[in-house]
Amino acid sequence: MKLYNTLPRKIEAFEPLNPPKVSLYSCGPTVYDFAHIGHMRAYTTVDLLRRTLTYLKYDIKHVMNITDVGHLSGDDDSGEEKMEKGAKKSGQTVWEVAQLYTDSFFRTMDSLNILRPNILCKATAHIQEMINLIKTLQEKDFTYETKEAIYFDTTKFKNYGKLSGQKLTEKKTGARGDVYLDPGKKRPTDFALWFKRVGRFANHTMYWDSPWGNGFPGWHIECSAMSMKYLGETIDIHAGGEDHIPVHHEDEIAQSEAVTEKTFVRFWFHYHFLNVDGKKMSKSLGNFYTLDELLKKNIDPMAMRYLFLQTHYRQSINFTWESVKAADETYQKLKDYVLQLKKQTDNSQPNKKLSEDFKKKFVGAIENDLQLPQALAITWQMLKSDLSFKEKLNLILDFDQVFGLRLNEVVEEKIPEEIIKLAELRQQVREKKDFKKSDEIRKQIEKKGFLIKDGSDGYQIKKRHD
Q: Read off the CATH number of the domain in which 349 is found.
A: 1.20.120
SS (H, E, C) 273-299: CEEECCEECCHHHCCCCCHHHHHHCCC
Residue in 316, 345, 271 with CA at minimum distance from that of residue 6: 271
Looking at the chain, the whole-number percentage of residues with pLDDT higher than 70 is 96
Q: How far apart are CA 420 and CA 413, in angstroms?
A: 12
Count of structural domains within the chain: 3
Q: pLDDT tens across 70-82, in order?
A: 999 887 788 889 9
> Does residue 139 sit in the same domain as residue 211?
yes
Ramachandran angles phi, psi of 11, nearest 5°:
-80, 130
Helix (H, G, I), strand (E, B) or coil at 150: strand
> Does residue 401 sit in the same domain as residue 430?
no
Q: Which domain holds residue 166?
A: 2-271
* Cβ proximity of 48 and 404 under 8 Å: yes
> Does residue 265 sit in the same domain as residue 301?
no
Q: pLDDT tens across 200-232, in order?
A: 999 999 999 999 999 999 999 999 999 999 999
| Domain end (from 206, 239, 271) | 271
> Minimum mean pLDDT among 5-19, 178-192, 233-247, 355-369: which range?
178-192
Element (H, E) at 64: strand 59-66
> Does residue 230 sit in the same domain as residue 339?
no
> Does residue 267 sit in the same domain as residue 280?
no
Looking at the chain, the whole-number percentage of residues with pLDDT higher than 90 is 73
Question: Residues 156-178, buried b or exposed e (16+ Cβ, 10 A)?
Answer: bbeebbbbbebeeeebebebeee
| Domain end (from 239, 271, 303) | 271
> Does residue 110 sit in the same domain as residue 222?
yes
> Does residue 232 sit in the same domain as residue 301?
no
Q: How confident is the model at residue 278 (pLDDT cuts 50, 70, 90)?
A: confident
C-alpha distances (whole Å) from 284 to each of 76, 275, 287, 366 are: 23, 14, 8, 38
* Cβ proximity of 227 and 199 under 8 Å: no
> Does residue 252 sit in the same domain as residue 313?
no
Q: pLDDT tens across 390-447, in order?
A: 999 999 999 999 999 999 998 877 788 888 889 899 989 988 889 899 999 988 888 8
> Does residue 287 sit in the same domain as residue 389?
yes
> Does residue 253 sit in the same domain as residue 294?
no
| Domain end (from 255, 271, 287) | 271
> Does residue 313 sit in the same domain as residue 439?
no
* Cβ proximity of 271 and 239 under 8 Å: yes
